[in-house]
Amino acid sequence: MTVPVNISVEPAARPLIDALASAIPVIETERLILLLPRLADWPALEPIWTTGRGRFIGGPMTGQDAWLDFSQCVSSWLLRGFGWLTVTRKSDRAVLGLVGYAQEYGDPEPELGWLLTEAAEGQGYATEAARAMLPLGHDLIGPGRFVSYVDSANRRSRRLAERLGAILDDKPHPLATGCLVYRHHREHRQ
C-alpha cells in the first residue's frame, strides 16, 4: 500500500524555499516552462515511477522508492549544482514531467534525462524540453561531458537522444545491463 506524501509546506519555510528556487534557472520554450520541482508537482509525477511507465527506469516502484528517486532529482541541485526541472505547459500550467541532469550512484558521468506523464507523451514535449536543457548542460557540466543513459528496449527515448544530436557511445554503462550511452557533444548543440 502506498502512503500518500504530505505535499503541504510549512508557512515559515516558504521564504527559504522561494530563495533557494530563485537560484535555479527557469527555462521557457514556445509551449513549456521548465522550473524547479515543487511538492505540489508530486501527485502528477508519481505515476511515472509507480506504474508501468517506470519500466525503463527500474519500476514500477513502490511509493517510497518513487519518492526517494524524485527527491534525488531535486537534491542534485544542492549536491552537484545541476538537477531536474518540472516540465509544465504554458497554456494551463499542467505538470507534464521532468527533464534534467543527474549523476546517480554508480553513474560514471552526468546524465541528461527525461520522464513524462502518460498524458504528455507523443506531443513533442520531451524533445522540446530536452533540447532546451542542452545549453544549460554545456554551461554547467561542460561540452561532451554528459550523456543520456537509455534502456536499449526504449525505442522512443533512443530516437529522442538521436534527435538531440547525441551519438551512441561504443562503451555501455558499466553497471546497468542493457543501458545504452548516448554522448552529447557541443557541436550538436541546438
In a domain, 3, yes or no: no
Q: What are the backbone dihedrals phi and psi of residue 155, each rounded to the nearest 5 degrees, phi first?
A: -60, -40
Nine-digit cell at 168? 551512441
Judged against a pLDDT cut of 50, whether residue 61 lies above it is answered with yes
In a domain, 91, yes or no: yes
Sheet strand arrangement including 95-102: 27-28, 32-35, 84-89, 95-102, 111-116, 146-151, 179-184, 167-168
Please write the tens of the pLDDT for every residue from 82-122: 999 999 999 999 999 999 999 988 888 999 999 999 999 99
* Tally of domains within the chain: 1
Residue 51 forms part of a structural domain: yes
Query: Quick one: cell of 42?
Result: 508530486
Q: What is the pLDDT of residues 155-187, one digit of tens each?
A: 999 999 999 999 999 887 777 778 899 999 865
Domain CATH code at residue 147: 3.40.630.30
Assess if residue 169 is contained within a domain. yes
Residue 79 makes CB contacts below 8 A (sequence gap 6+) with none
Q: Is residue 28 part of a domain?
A: yes
Considering the domain boundaries, does residue 117 fall inside one? yes
The range of the structural domain enclosing residue 133 comes to 11-188
Domain presence at residue 56: yes
Residue 122: inside a domain: yes
